[in-house]
Amino acid sequence: MIIPERVLPGQTIPVDVDEVPPLEPGPGVRVRTLPGMPGIRTWVIDLAPGAEWPDLDVHGAYGEAYFVVSGEVIEGDRVHGPGTYVAFGPETSHRPRTETGVRVFGFNYDVTA
């Protein structure tokens, strides 16, 4: 399946997220890139129970956010469950992990994209 990188003006693109081939940057971590808008990269991340993002995720000049769809994600000493929106401003970093497994929909904000 070929998923376009961007949604163009006048386009509507329905995507079955589970049909998008994942990248696996680390054990138990699956990333699916979805069509985004100019300046916004969109993705879904599934972390298996006990998984952790492989490296510190550093945000330079632009921010990132995600919405927890199911399960729980742990950031430092905070646990975020379904329905939680977590936003990271420029010049922040984090390394998400989970004990239960989690699915998040994420957004990278990049005005150069």
* CATH number of this structure's domain 23-109, picked from the four choices 2.60.120.10, 3.40.50.300, 3.30.565.10, 3.40.640.10: 2.60.120.10
Transcribe the chain into DSSP letters.
Answer: ----SBPPTT------GGGSPPEEEETTEEEEEEEEETTEEEEEEEE-TT-B-SS-EEE-SS-EEEEEEEE-EEETTEEE-TT-EEEE-TTEEE--B-SS-EEEEEEEE-TT-
pLDDT in tens, the chain (113 residues): 677 788 888 888 899 999 999 999 999 999 999 998 888 889 999 999 999 999 989 888 888 999 999 999 999 999 999 999 999 999 999 999 999 999 999 998 876 55
In angstroms, rounded to a whole number, what is the distance separating the alpha carbons of residues 42 and 44? 7
* pLDDT (0 to 100) of residue 110: 75
Q: Which one-letter amino acid corresponds to residue 15?
A: V
pTM for the model: 0.89
Q: Phi and psi for 34 in degrees, rounded to 5?
A: -110, 160
In angstroms, rounded to a whole number, what is the distance separating the alpha carbons of residues 20 and 3? 8
